């Protein structure tokens, strides 16, 4: 990677949500559940459990509990895990990462276990500087700790970095930490009540490079 000091208009680092902003995990959940309707209900229940538990609880356990709560058979979480490496990048994701790679450090901050999070990150053909999971941080997003741990590992201050979110729940955490945010709202999720609006909301990653290349770091408070 080139010295980011040569490119002062870019952030020093761009952090990414993984399973919604970069990878199409929705389709895999739907296939594992059997129908799109069942998959969405399962995913919604899982998100409620994740965002409500605070301290880290085993990711795989929450996935199983969510399936039970919505009436899915035990086979659904098993199918999800067996086909985990079939997760596919959203169109434009790989190109965006490759374009950013010469100018910025790149990191993942994902609500996942170490094992599954690192497997999913490896699907994308990019050299990650840091991969932080909820398991490693000891808490799930939007708790500030996963974001802050990634910044600490990168040795980058919040005002020098940016975050690409997959859902508006991330905005609670990024607002707390002080990360400017691009919301890749691929499937048209509503803004969660009380969440701070991102600088950009787009169903695609097309605007990410232009936004990052005109990055003006805020004055550190």
Whole-number Å distance between alpha carbons of 127 and 112 = 19
Q: What is the pLDDT of residues 170-196, one digit of tens each?
A: 999 999 999 999 999 998 989 989 999
User: Other C-beta atoms within 10 Å of 37: how many?
Assistant: 10
Per-residue pLDDT in tens (0 to 9) along the chain, 221 residues = 444 444 568 999 999 999 999 999 999 999 999 999 999 999 989 988 988 787 899 999 999 999 999 999 999 999 999 999 999 999 999 999 999 999 999 999 999 999 999 999 999 999 999 999 999 999 999 999 999 999 999 999 999 999 999 989 999 999 999 999 999 999 898 998 999 999 999 999 999 999 999 887 655 44
User: Other C-beta atoms within 10 Å of 177: how many?
Assistant: 19
Does this model's pTM top 0.85? My answer is yes
Among candidates 74, 17, 80, 85, which has minimal Cα distance to 43? 80
Q: What is the pLDDT of residues 87-108, one digit of tens each?
A: 999 999 999 999 999 999 999 9
Please give the domain boundaries of the chain with CATH numbers for all domains.
4-24+88-213 (3.40.50.1000), 25-85 (no CATH)
């Amino acid at each position: 990677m080139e010295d980011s000091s040569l490119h002062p208009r870019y952030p020093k680092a761009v952090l990414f949500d993984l399973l919604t902003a970069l990878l199409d995990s929705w389709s895999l959940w739907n296939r594992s559940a059997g129908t799109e309707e069942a998959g969405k209900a399962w995913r919604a229940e899982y998100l409620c459990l994740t965002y409500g538990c605070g301290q880290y609880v085993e990711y795989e356990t929450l996935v199983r509990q969510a399936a039970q709560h919505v009436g899915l058979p035990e086979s659904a979480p098993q199918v999800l895990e067996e086909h985990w490496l079939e997760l596919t990048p959203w169109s434009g994701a790989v190109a965006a990462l490759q374009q950013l790679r010469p100018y910025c450090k790149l990191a993942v901050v994902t609500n996942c276990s170490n094992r599954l999070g690192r497997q999913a990150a490896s699907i994308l053909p990019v050299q990650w500087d840091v991969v932080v999971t909820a398991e490693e941080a000891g808490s799930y997003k939007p708790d500030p700790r996963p974001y802050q741990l990634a910044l600490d590992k990168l040795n980058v201050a919040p005002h020098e970095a940016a975050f690409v979110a997959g859902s508006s729940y991330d905005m609670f955490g990024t607002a707390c930490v002080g990360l400017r945010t691009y919301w890749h709202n691929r499937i048209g999720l509503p803004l969660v009540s009380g969440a701070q609006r991102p600088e950009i909301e787009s169903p695609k990653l097309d605007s990410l490079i232009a936004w990052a290349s005109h990055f003006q770091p805020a004055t550190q408070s």
